[in-house]
Amino acid sequence: MRKKYVLRRFLENAVLVTGLVANNNTKECVEKQYEGKWVSMITHDKQTVNKDYELGMALLIPKDQLVETFHAPDEGNGILKTWCAKLKPGSNGYRYQVYAGWELGVDDLSKREEFIRLVDTYADYLNHPVSISIN
């Protein structure tokens, strides 16, 4: 019985840290909420290795699992220059969506507003899933 209690207490206090690398990001990061259900973290800038192309990166995180967002330090040891999200587990573990869009893949993704609109659309789909029933 003691082992189950210890494991349950461990899982209740467990966190997962994920994030978006921001070492080539000079534009402001965008954090948005969608109907109180999802939170997005969005970057869009010349984030490729040689800073040649626009790259959008985003996370969609269930609001009830998000503990906080924070920026890792620019210098030192460990994770650096990263916009991080700390998550607590939900009833089925951790859940989050990852998105990326590169301007060489789709021309419109060179525009910051278009990438943000795309993430907004995905959040809307998650908030309003299609349900089909066959009688």
pLDDT tens digits, one per residue of 60-85: 999 999 999 999 999 999 889 999 99
Which pLDDT value is given to residue 11? 66
Which pLDDT value is given to residue 47? 87
Which pLDDT value is given to residue 109? 86
- Could you give the C-alpha distances from 26 to 39, 52, 97, in angstroms and in order? 22, 13, 24
pLDDT at 8 exceeding the cut of 90: no
pLDDT at 3 exceeding the cut of 90: no
pLDDT at 28 exceeding the cut of 80: yes
